[in-house]
Amino acid sequence: MIARPQGVAFDVIETFFSLDAVNARFEDAGLSSPALDLWLATGLRDAFALAVSEAYAPFRDVLYRGSR
């Protein structure tokens, strides 16, 4: 018998909401679009690491912590 997954995750960033406003803030700060991609990827990596270690932090905190 095939085991069923306990959960399923979906990446909804830029599906349910746009990052255009965030990108504009990055550009105002003199950063390029790849900086936004790196910042978001780092935040997702850290959020996934917290999830698999059964720890929790709000995603907003994870994103701000990674940008310091």
The boundaries of the domain holding residue 53 are 31-66
Residue 26 maps to a domain: no
Residue 36 maps to a domain: yes
Residue 8 maps to a domain: no
Residue 25 maps to a domain: no
Residue 5 maps to a domain: no
Phi and psi torsions of 8, nearest 5°: -135, 140
Residue 61 maps to a domain: yes
Report pLDDT for 6.
87
Q: How confident is the model at residue 18 (pLDDT cuts 50, 70, 90)?
A: confident
Q: How confident is the model over 19-50, as pLDDT tens digits?
A: 899 899 999 999 988 998 898 889 889 988 99
User: In total, how many domains does the chain have?
Assistant: 1
Phi and psi torsions of 63, nearest 5°: -65, -45
Fill in the DSSP letter of residue 47: H
- Tell me how far apart the alpha carbons of residues 56 and 19 are, in angstroms, rounded to a whole number: 24
Residue 57 maps to a domain: yes
Q: At 59, which helix (H) or strand (E)?
A: helix 59-66
Question: Which of residues 67 and 3 earns the better pLDDT score?
Answer: 3
Residue 22 maps to a domain: no
Average pLDDT, the chain: 86
